Amino acid sequence: MAIEVKNIVKTFGSFAALDDVDLKVADGELLALLGPSGSGKTTLLRIIAGLDWPDSGEVAIDGENALTRGASERQVGFVFQHYALFRHMTVFENVAFGLRVQPRAVRKDEATIRARVKELLDLVQLDWLANRYPSQLSGGQRQRIALARALAIEPRILLLDEPFGALDAKVRKELRQWLRSLHNEIHVTSIFVTHDQEEALEVANRVVVMDKGKIEQIGSPGEVYDNPATAFVHGFIGESIVLPVDVAGDAVRLDGRPLNIPALGAASGAAKLFVRRHDMAIGPAGSGALDGAIRHVRSFGPIQRAEVALAGDAGKTVIEIDAPRDRELQAGEIVSLQPRRYRIFAAQD
Ligand code: ADP
Ligand code: MG
Q: How far is the CA of 40 from the centre of ligand 1 (A)?
A: 6
Question: Which fold is adopted by the domain 240-346?
Answer: OB fold (Dihydrolipoamide Acetyltransferase, E2P) (2.40.50)
Residues of each domain in the chain carrying CATH 3.40.50.300? 3-232
Q: Name the closest-CA residue to atom 16, ligand 1.
A: 38
Residues of each domain in the chain carrying CATH 2.40.50.140? 240-346
Q: Locate the ligand 1 atom nearest the alpha carbon of residue 44 and give its number.
A: 6
d(CA 152, CA 113): 9
At residue 286, the pLDDT reads: 85
pLDDT tens digits for 234-284? Answer: 999 988 999 999 999 999 998 888 888 999 989 999 999 999 999 999 999
Residue 211 pLDDT level (bands cut at 50, 70, 90)? very high
Q: How far is the CA of 211 from the centre of ligand 1 (A)?
A: 12
Query: Residue 171: which residues within 8 A CB-CB, separation 6 or more?
Result: 138, 139, 140, 164
Q: Name the closest-CA residue to atom 7, ligand 1.
A: 42
At residue 153, the pLDDT reads: 86
In the chain, % of residues over pLDDT 70: 99
Evaluate whether the domain defined by 3-232 bears CATH number 3.40.50.11540: no
Q: How far is the CA of 246 from the centre of ligand 2 (A)?
A: 37
d(CA 22, CA 8): 7
Distances (CA, A) of 133 to 80, 93, 171, 180: 19, 10, 20, 26
How many of the other CB atoms lie within 10 Å of CB of 77?
Answer: 22
Give CB contacts under 8 A, 24+ apart, made by 302-305.
303/278, 304/328, 304/329, 305/277
Q: Please, which residues bridge with residue 210 across strands?
A: 215
Average pLDDT of the chain to the nearest whole number: 92
d(CA 199, CA 180): 11
Where does ligand 1 bind, in terms of residues with CB under 6 Å?
12, 17, 35, 37-43
pLDDT tens digits for 36-49? Answer: 999 999 999 999 99
Q: How far is the CA of 46 from the centre of ligand 2 (A)?
A: 10
Q: How far is the CA of 312 from the centre of ligand 2 (A)?
A: 43
Is the CB of residue 51 less than 8 Å from the CB of residue 90?
Answer: no
Q: Locate the ligand 1 atom nearest the alpha carbon of residue 213 and give its number.
A: 10
Can you give the C-alpha Rg of the chain in angstroms?
Answer: 25
**Ligand of minimum distance to the alpha carbon of 80:** 2
Residue 326 pLDDT level (bands cut at 50, 70, 90)? confident
Q: Which of 5, 8, 12, 53 to mutate to test the pocket of ligand 1 (most atoms within 8 A of CB)?
A: 12
Decide if pLDDT at 312 tops 80. Answer: no
Distances (CA, A) of 335 to 290, 304, 310: 8, 15, 9
d(CA 124, CA 135): 18
At residue 202, the pLDDT reads: 94
pLDDT tens digits for 116-155? Answer: 999 999 988 899 999 999 999 999 899 899 999 999 988 9
Model-wide pTM > 0.75: yes
